[in-house]
Amino acid sequence: MGLFAVKLAVTPLLMALVTLVNRRFGAAAGGIVAGLPLTSGPISLYLALEQGLPFAGAAAHGSLVGVGAVLVSYLAYLLASRRSVLFSCFAGFGGFALWALAAGRIGSDTGLVLADLALTGLLLVLTRGASAGTRPARLPPWDLPARIAVSTGLVVMVTLAAPLLGPALSGLLAPVPVIAWPLIVFVHAQSGRDAAVATIRGTVSGAVGLCAFNLAVIRLAPTEGIALTYVAALSLSLAVSLALVGVLYRRKASS
């Protein structure tokens, strides 16, 4: 019961953090924070605590598939974003489903990571002109509660249903960006395509950190304890994400 209470407390706090960063520093900064393992990290840890490290390690492999599916959803959303927000949403979900089905044929962790990095590079190229300083319009009162409800619901659903879903499907669902997707859609609807593209660019920057996190869990879970596995995985994820963001914004500042 204590762990369930933690799930209900941590996710809303993370969602509030993303929202505050987005409002204070703009769409791209909010996207970068939303791209970190704010839901997949806690889900993976909860799976390790409740189902064991072998289950969490197998789920991390599924999460690498999920990261690629998320990136394809961003690509589809981006390509459709000159049309309506609703059409863009359907395109994004379609892209996610197609990649989730196709990537099951990629068996190795290395192959999945290379595919994810290639998709990340493509998206960063396509969003290169995005304005990092774009700020969203004033958000309605229901904005934050809606995001909190959706993100908390996914964390609770995946971890409670894990014994039925199994590690592969639990892992696939873990990186579903329930924080980033609503952020992109709300920004697109309220501030236009340019702000949505900036948010996608920021969020994509965090995908490299997600890959590092899941790869660390896969490698460490079979032999190390929970504490070392997740401290190392989170540290590696943060280091990789911050390094990539630093490179991207140094290039932008010098251009």
The whole-number pLDDT of residue 109 equals 82
Identify the pLDDT of residue 75.
94
- Residues 142 and 149: their CA atoms lie apart, in Å, by 11
Q: What pLDDT shows up at residue 217? A: 92
Query: Residue 146: which of 189, 110, 112 has the closest Cα?
Result: 189
Do residues 101 and 68 make contact, with C-beta atoms less than 8 angstroms apart?
no
| Confidence category of residue 201, pLDDT binned at 50, 70, 90 | confident
Per-residue model confidence as pLDDT tens digits over 94-142: 999 999 888 766 768 888 888 888 998 899 888 887 654 455 455 566 6
Percent of the chain at pLDDT > 90 equals: 15
DSSP 43: H
Identify the band that residue 1 occupies on the pLDDT scale cut at 50, 70 and 90. very low
Read off the tokens for 235: 């540290």
Residue 74: its pLDDT value, please?
95
When divided into structural domains, the chain yields a total of 1
pLDDT at 101: 85
Q: What's the CA gap between 243 and 237, in Å, rounded?
A: 10
Residue 22 phi/psi, 5-degree rounding, is -60, -45
Residues making up the chain, counted from first to last: 255
| Segments forming the whole domain that contains residue 70 | 2-254
| Average pLDDT of every residue of the chain | 79
Most confident stretch, 71-85, 115-129, 160-174: 71-85
Whether 72 has a pLDDT exceeding 90, the answer reads yes
Q: Which residues neighbour 103 within 8 Å (Cβ) at sequence distance 6 or greater?
A: 65, 68, 69, 112, 115
Nearest-angstrom CA–CA distance, 188 and 60: 31
- Report residue 106 as tokens: 């990629």
pTM of the model: 0.79
The count of C-alpha atoms lying within 13 angstroms of the C-alpha of 55, restricted to the half-sphere facing its C-beta, is 19
| 222: nearest Cα among 46, 48, 40, 42 | 48
